[in-house]
Every structure is written in C-alpha cells, then in structure tokens.
Amino acid sequence: QYYNAEYGGEVYYDTPSMLGALSFVRDLIFTHKVTPEGVTDGKAVSTAFFAGDASMVLLSTGSLSFIRQNMGDRYGVAFVPRNVRNAVAIGGASLMMPKGLSDAQKAASWTLINWLTSPEISGHWSRFTGYFAPNKAAYDLPEMKAFIEANPDAAVALLQLHFAKSWFATYNTVAVRKALEDEVQAVMSGDRQPAEALAAAQAKADAIMRPYVEQTALKLPQ
C-alpha cells in the first residue's frame, strides 16, 4: 500500500516494498533486457516491439488493436510480470457533468453519457480500440462473445482486473502522482537508481502535500 486510504496527506513512496517493486522493474530492463533501455514513449515502445528490438512491452489496453493489426499472430498477451504477487495499475478517464447546467443541458448530457456507456457502444469501442468495455453488460452481447472467442488476447485484461486496486486520491493527486512517475521514468532511463529515485519522489510528494497536512493533520498536545 503506497498511500493512506483514510487520509489525503500521506503517501509511502520511500519504503522497502516500493524499493522491491521498482528494483524488479529496473531488472527487467537492465538485467533481463526484455526491452531497450530508456525507451518509454508509447510510440517508440511499439516500434521497438514491431522491429524485434523488444521481447516484451508494457502498454495500455488501448494499444491492443494497433499491435494486432501490425503483428498478426506473432505476439501474445499476458499479465503484467509479477514479483511477489500479481498486481496491475488501472487508468482511464471519466464522463461528468459540471455544475451550473440548465435542466435541458443536464438532460442532454445524461442522454449522451447513457449512450456512450451503453453495452452496444462501449462494446463497439472496446472491439475497435482494445480498451475493455466499462459496462459489464457489453460482454453478454453475442457480437462481443464472438469477438472474444476469435481474439482471446482481448480477454487477458479482463481477467487481470481481479488483481487491480481502486485508484488512489490525495491532496493534489495529479502532482503527487507525477512526483513518483518522473522518478520511475528516470530509473527506466538509467538516470537514477531505485533507492535515490524513491527518496526524491517522497520528498517531492511531501512538499506538495505540506499545505494540506499543516491544515488538517492531527497534532500532539503540547
């Protein structure tokens, strides 16, 4: 657990478990050579895979259709490599209505959201892109069942969801997350060692959250 689920002012980046995880990722690149060093841009990663310069790549499910189109049957899909246990990050975006809409705007927005997330549309979107459908009912449709049978690689991400955790939230979540992302990127590029990267990420995150902590954290009696 790398954050406090009960309090938005604490993350645990500089810990032994995080060091083990980041060291595992570094070893995949620099010891086991599964992918070229320093190649982290999505397009460059795909290009390296197509050219045979990478034996393994970690990409969004949204890349699956592109991989399938370019690789034919010369690839396989598997769970994210594990060290101690299976785990996987989840991402995505949200559909939301802002405050201040008129009743007519709310009704129109809700109609659009319902359409986009319907089994039929989310299923079509999944088959076209590779992303899994956010509506479970999409997988009950005959066309989706036929697609999964013909493309079993599309089912791997669904099965892996059993090992996913809910997205975390802190004070200034995006900046706190980026503090870690930048340091992980530096490790993957060979510019940082895992221990120093995590110490730097922790320091950055703590500085970002400090205003929130100073206003909300419980203080011991003087």
Domains defined along the chain, listed by start: 1-90+164-222 (3.40.190.10), 95-152 (no CATH)
pTM, rounded to two decimals = 0.83
What pLDDT is stored for residue 166 in this prediction? 80
Cα dihedral 133, 76, 33, 18, rounded to 10, equals 30
pLDDT tens profile 149-193: 999 999 999 999 999 988 888 999 999 999 999 999 999 999 999
Structure tokens at 203: 């320091």
Concatenating the DSSP letter of every residue in 72-107 gives TTS----PPP-SSS--B----------TT--HHHHH
Q: What's 164's DSSP letter?
A: B
Concatenating the DSSP letter of every residue in 154-198 gives GGHHHHHGGGB-PPP--TTHHHHHHHHHHHHHHHHTTSS-HHHHH
Structure tokens at 131: 């992303």
211, 61 Cβ separation under 8 angstroms: no
Please work out, in degrees rounded to the nearest 5, the angle formed at the alpha carbon of residue 69 by the alpha carbons of 129 and 29.
85
Calpha distance 178→85 (Å, rounded): 25
Residue 68 predicted with pLDDT over 90: yes
> Mean pLDDT throughout 129-145?
95
Calpha distance 51→48 (Å, rounded): 5
Mean pLDDT of the chain: 92
11, 176 Cβ separation under 8 angstroms: yes
Calpha distance 54→69 (Å, rounded): 18
Count CB neighbours of 54 within 10 A.
Answer: 19
65, 129 Cβ separation under 8 angstroms: yes
